[in-house]
Chains A and B, each alone.
Chain A
Amino acid sequence: MGRKLLTENINVPGIQSLDVYRKQGGYEGLKKALGMSPDAIVEEVKKSGLRGRGGAGFPTGMKWSFLAKPDGVPRHLVCNADESEPGTFKDRYMMERIPHLLIEGMAIGSFALGANTSYIYIRGELLYVFHILQKAIDEAYAAGLLGKNIMGSGFDFDLHVHCGAGAYICGEETALIESLEGKRGNPRIKPPFPAIQGLWQRPTVVNNVESIMAVVPIVKMGGDEYAKIGVGKSTGTKLISACGHINKPGVYEIELGVPVEEFIYSDEYCGGIRNGKDLKAVVAGGSSVPVLPKDLILKLANGEPRLMSYESLSEGGFATGTMLGSGGFIVMDEDTSIVKNLYTFTRFYHHESCGQCSPCREGTGWMEKILHKILDGHGTLADVDLLWEIQSKIEGKTICPLGDAAAWPVASAIRHFRSEFEEYVKNPSSIKKDNHYYRLNNISPEVA
């Protein structure tokens, strides 16, 4: 059993409430932090090696240390709770079950950064979680954990929860800031980075829910202790949301460095592939990261086991590797059509493109149409080459990473499963589109 730092108490009855959370040691981290200097907290986070848990993996302590601190200008910490990357549902799981952990992390982070007002930006669809957070915030205010002079420290801190309205792009930090200012979620050109000019042009740090929660155990145990967990530069624990054709979908907190094979097949985690099927492919870190076939996800090119860590998953570059990303772990069995799965991803990116940059706005639409054409049985070999061409013209040519995120799934599907595309265009009767009806019980034949 790996160590649990974030989910240790998640099954304690009533942990949603402040009383139970405090009985389990809740807000002890904040108490400790308020007795430290803000710079010392940033130093502990640096020492911990914590890397952004939203997907990019940028060192959190370093991000904090970049924050500009001009005199007389308010600063803000904004929590990115706009979780929308397909395959990812860890933040929702945590906020719903243990909301005070996020509030405690926000208070510690805001104290460390000198932010007196901070915001949690939650995706609009998660209205019920918005209510859970609001209730927890109200409890924290009533107990003096938020508001004026929190815990008698002299630090004034207001925390608000803000809801979005359905836009994947708002998970990109500058789009999120635009959205929080009441505008369309169009990413900004960087620089300036939010650390210099963010929310309302003020210095701002935007962190993922899991990153902010991780600050609580880091402060409690110290950065050095935290860094002992994990492997190499992949320190600490990571929440992995596992889904698809596995026996036990759900959110698992792992010590970074668990072998991928163990994660998929052991009963502690995914419990193997459903219905005794064989594994075909895995998207290891949310829909944006390259899909890998069974042999490459389980083992490195040199035959060594691949591990659940930032370095091991990206070992081999995009030729044979992928990324840890957000930890959205999507497993596909031997019956899965890679082309159809890719079509749903590409449709997603087309739908979610903000439209600012032509390569992304037009390219995602083109790719969706070509994939639709192939699945409709009218594709040609030239279409497969055209798909490759288009994705290569999107990658790296847009303001924000959504373009890359749309290109990588297409590139990797063609790179590793080109034969399936070719089979579909040469022999349309081989096309599998809706082969999963048997997974639903009680389905009537005319529907299937």
Chain B
Amino acid sequence: MNNENKLKFSDEALALSQRMIKRYPEGKQKSALIPLLHVAQAEFGGWLSSDAMDYVASLLNITPIEVYEVASFYSMFNLKPVGKCVIEVCHTGPCWLLGSDDIVKYIEKKLSIKAGQTTADGMFTLKTVECLASCGTAPMMQIGETYHENLTLDKVDNIIHECRATVVEPVSHWSKKEIK
């Protein structure tokens, strides 16, 4: 069914996938599904198209539905295209107590988008997320693998400025640099 599938992992990503699959016993290769979906998201522009998910299914020799039902369950998998920088602001209790609502409002105003939206230039997606285990350094947000903690509005300005200046490849948690 994947004959017309044009997507393919890079050699590095394929090698990484094979190493990941080997961590589980013979016949239990499905356990590598979540790690491989992270790799796929990094390889294919920060989100999982149905072609990308079908490709992962073929690598693990499982049916596509087994991939779809998992990809749609976990909040880190994007099933629609996202900006190059996905800004994830924690808004659960401990962060709210220290001003996360104001961080969200400030970024919404600064980028002229609402939470859940992507800027017209495709640079930023803003998301609100639930607790990231960073309550002692609240308020906080995550971009790619980086935790930005003890946020102030000045810090937010600097972080967004830096993203604009430096980000070329999409950074959605796992990025190309994870795949070496």
Shortest beta-carbon distance, A94 to chain B, in Å?
Answer: 11
In angstroms, Cα B132 to Cα A86, docked, is 8
List chain B residues, Cβ under 8 A from A443: 102, 106, 153
Whether A181 is near chain B, meaning CB under 8 Å from some CB there, is yes
- Contact A249–B137 (Cβ < 8 Å): yes
Distance of B161 from chain A, by nearest CB (Å): 15
Check A351 against B130 for contact (C-beta < 8 Å). yes
82-110 of chain B: CB within 8 A of chain A: 91-94, 96-99, 101-103, 105-106, 109
Counting chain A residues whose Cβ lies within 8 A of the other chain, the interface size class is 35 or more
The reply to whether A330 and B135 contact each other, CB–CB distance below 8 Å, is yes
A182–B34 contact, CB under 8 A? Answer: yes
Q: A182-B70, A183-B70, A441-B154 are in contact. Are A243 and B35 (CB under 8 A)?
A: no
- Separation of A179 and B101 alpha carbons in the complex (Å): 32
> When the two chains form their complex, are residues A124 and B96 in contact, meaning their CB atoms are under 8 A apart?
no
Query: Which one of B62, B77, B133, B147 has the highest number of Cβ atoms from chain A below 10 Å of its Cβ?
Result: B133
Assuming the contacts A344-B91, A345-B92, asked whether A447 and B69 have C-beta atoms less than 8 A apart, the reply is no
User: Which chain A residue shows the least CB distance to B135?
Assistant: A243
Interface residue total, chain B, C-beta cutoff 8 A: 57
| Inter-chain contacts of B70 with A (CB < 8 A) | 182-184
Contact status A167-B93, CB under 8 Å: no
Tell me, in angstroms, the Cα distance from A340 to B35 when the chains sit together: 36
Shortest CB-to-CB span from A114 to chain B, Å, is: 16
Determine if A23 is an interface residue (Cβ-Cβ < 8 Å). no
Hey, what's the 0/1 contact readout for A346-373 against B, CB within 8 Å counting as 1? 0110011010000000000000000000
A447 to B162 CA separation, bound complex (whole angstroms)? 22
Q: Are A128 and B105 in contact (CB under 8 A)?
A: no
Contact A165 B134, beta carbon cutoff 8 Å:
no
Interface pair A330/B142, CB less than 8 Å apart:
no
User: In chain B, residues 101-159, which have Cβ atoms closer than 8 Å to a Cβ of chain A?
Assistant: 101-103, 105-106, 109, 129-139, 142, 145-147, 151-154
The reply on B173 being an interface residue by CB < 8 A is yes
CB within 8 Å for A124 and B34 given contacts A84-B131, A244-B97: yes
B38 at interface, CB cutoff 8 A: yes
B116 CB to closest chain A CB (Å) equals 13
Residues of B54-70 at the interface with A, using a CB-CB cut-off of 8 Å, are: 60, 62, 66, 69-70
Within 8 Å by CB of A182, from B32, B38, B174, lies B32
Among candidates A127, A160, A440, residue contacting B99 with C-beta atoms closer than 8 Å? A440
Q: Cβ of B53 < 8 Å from any Cβ of A?
A: no
Q: Which residues of B contact A249 (CB under 8 A)?
A: 135-138
- Evaluate whether A442 and B74 lie within 8 angstroms (CB atoms) in the complex, with A164-B34, A180-B31, A184-B69 already known: no
Distance in angstroms from B23 CB to nearest chain A CB is: 4
- B105, A447: Cβ atoms closer than 8 Å: yes
B145 touches A124 (CB 8 A): no
Give the contacting residue for A128; candidates B35, B73, B133, B145; CB below 8 A. Answer: B145
Inter-chain contact A127/B145, CB cutoff 8 Å:
yes
List the B side residues contacting A332 at CB < 8 Å.
97
A–B Cβ pairs within 8 angstroms, 17 of them: A84-B130, A84-B131, A125-B76, A128-B147, A165-B34, A165-B37, A165-B38, A166-B74, A166-B75, A182-B70, A243-B138, A287-B131, A330-B135, A347-B92, A441-B153, A442-B153, A447-B153
